[in-house]
Amino acid sequence: MLTLLEKISDLNDLVLQGKALEAFEKYYHDEVVMQENENVPTQGKAANRQREQEFFSAITEFRGAHPLKVTVGEGITMVQWHYDYTHKNWGVRNYTQVSVQEWQDGKIIKEQFFYGN
């Protein structure tokens, strides 16, 4: 059985390979709740899959993503990412984000993203 460090490292590697949706299918719980900052959370894997697909389809130029720091605790992981891309609705985005993942039954049950606007 993989440790949380091994799981989050594999998930990050999949994202870096352009396989974020594959990582989503592999590591996210059916009941996952995802939330951007303090916005209303999105409930369930189907709704979050659609949200992820819409996000990735709106990227018009991808210049890079780099995990800067990874932290693992009991049932929780955190990754500080740096992203650089152009989004068709938001324009150029070049920023640092912290993603906090809560794990249950070997899958991410809750993820919240923290970043400046």
pLDDT value at 39 more than 80: yes
Number of domains in the chain: 1
Amino acid identity, residue 85? Y
pTM of the model: 0.92
CA-to-CA separations, 75 to 79, 101, 110, in angstroms, rounded: 14, 8, 11
Q: For residue 1, what pLDDT is reported?
A: 80
Q: What is the pLDDT of residues 44-99, one digit of tens each?
A: 999 999 999 999 999 999 999 999 999 999 999 999 999 999 999 999 999 999 99
CATH code of the domain covering residue 27: 3.10.450.50
pLDDT value at 2 more than 90: no
pLDDT value at 117 more than 80: no
Residue 87 DSSP one-character state:
E
Mean pLDDT of the chain: 95
Residue 25 is part of which domain span? 4-114
* CA distance linking residue 31 with residue 12, whole number of Å: 21
Helices 4-16, 20-27: axis angle to 10 degrees equals 150
